[in-house]
Structure 1
Amino acid sequence: MKGTPSIESSSIKMIPKDYIMQALLKPVDYHSSLLVYYVYLHRKFALASPFSTKSTSYPDDILDHFPVKKVLEFIRENLNFIFPEIVALVSSQSPSYFHVNNKLLELTQKESSVKLEYLIEHLETFDDLAVALKEGLDESKTSQYINVLKLLQPELLFKNFTSFMDLLVQNYSNDYRQVWIKLYLNSPTTTCTATLKYFGIDGDYISNPLLIFDAFQNHRQLIPVFLQVLNHSSSEFRHKIRTGRTMFSNEKDSAVLTYDSLVIQNLFSIIHISPALVCKYVHQVFVDRPLCIRLVNFQGYDLDIIPTVVDLVPSMHVCIDYCVEITTNVNGKFGMTLATYLCRKYPLEKT
């Protein structure tokens, strides 16, 4: 009909993806930073549009190629007036980059004196480095090679991801975990997906977090990595649900709550592997989404782990208010046991 704008004419013009990716091959500057800002802004308006489809804006996978950390640092220093907005955009569309309170993401701040020239001089390929690290060299030599590994660009590590994962699995240590975290911070989705593929998981782990449990069931030493993948999956699932248009608000809340309770119940089944790390993860979920505390405890779990959960999950203190209801209407034995340990941990004041 004449005078009625089409979807195309009312859409914001898209800068070609190839042009953006070419610009990002160079060091971060005003041009590349503004292009990244533009993409996030374009996606924001597209998501808000009732005519939005996957073809009307940039796909999710383009975000994985952005040097987000470097761009944010550049904008903070040189384009400060848009810094709050770009942080909000990245936080809403790439939530995995924002876990500043998560100790699993702490990286060493020590500067390494080892230069990449060392690798060029002594090792011809990444496989040479991997072999050297696997050979069990003396401690000082191994330390040098690990420092070289830490200095490698993410692109090279991704290119040799299987060899790197062999090192991580066979010689797990904090040093190797830091390299994995470096990759994660560079590209969360790519790192998590590649990690799960290494363990033979190729399904939709964001919608089905039990696949993550399957991947790591025989690699207990990797639980810090496992929890980070789980955290990423949870963040992406919430983002997917909350930006979707097929559910009402209460249905979205219910979907997220069900997802969280499923994850926590399965974490409780492996709590013996690392009680402190598992409980820290659970506590953060409870703090972020308090309704989950009620649901999980009304569902109940193994009586044997109640002492550990009460002791290591500080947010469990709110369950004191639920104990009578749980005991009376849901599970008397569970409710009484929970109340006993809660009262020992948090004695009621005499009045």
Structure 2
Amino acid sequence: MDAASTFAADSRRPITVRLATPRGFCAGVDRAIQIVERAIERFGAPVYVRHEIVHNRHVVERLKALGAVFVKELDECPDDRPVVFSAHGVPKSVPAAARSRQMLFLDATCPLVSKVHVEAERHHAAGRHIILIGHAGHPEVVGTMGQLPAEAISLIETVGDAETFARPGDAPLAYVTQTTLSVDDTAEVLAVLKRRFPELPDPHKEDICYATTNRQEAVKRLADGSDLVLVVGSPNSSNSVRLVEVALRAGARDARLVDDASHVDWSWFDGVRTVGVTAGASAPEPLIEALIEALRARFDATVVEDDGERETVAFKLPRALTA
């Protein structure tokens, strides 16, 4: 009997599916998507969006179908159509340019990212040099660094960077972080910085957002006892990629990122009795539901929802869309 026949004969074997709580959309993502949807309803199509509103291919394609046009830079947008800035935030120069062109713009920056911007500006006003812990080139990092003069902020990505960072001059130091980082990785970087620069103050509030923290804690629980963890999310989603890393570090035998159910390689399930399922903060719930149905189609699946943090956070929409 060949491998395909063996799998077919065994395809209805029992399997336990553990579903993470919380998972999927966070309040910032939900708000950003609503801003694009409401803008199209109020102003008609097209509505321009600078960068992907959130990092999920399915969300972007659905909004394109409604009339959103995604561009890389503001100069690709006409003056007479609304433009939305993505949830990741933008450098100060972007809204300044929009104002100079008298454009109608809507800022979908997550309020928790905006909080980091405010914190960085507060440190700068106090004369501190700011260390930003994050990933180079990520839109959120570009946006945060763009709040300040280039010489006022230094990016640190790794423990190695923290070991070799040289204080510019004699300025006191402060730090902020990208909101979607691995909590554990960030703690390792901070441990090095605190050892080298004991005077570093703690952040006013934790920069890694509640949704990132909650989803990472949930995936740690999944990893304990799961042979395989599937994370629904797009490859360019920082928080989704981190969930895979966290699952592996927490003890999962295997962990994979899948854009949707069609990206599952069913050979991953050889010997798997328990699979954990979660989703990044930019992945819509229907993708998770479709993955569960795909599992049920191939296995005698028992779905158990893990107990976790129940999120009730909601963010207000801009006045231009509610007045």
* TM-score, normalised with respect to structure 1: 0.28
Q: Which has the larger radius of gyration?
A: 1
Greater strand fraction, Structure 1 or Structure 2: 2
Greater helix fraction, Structure 1 or Structure 2: 1
* TM-score, normalised with respect to structure 2: 0.30
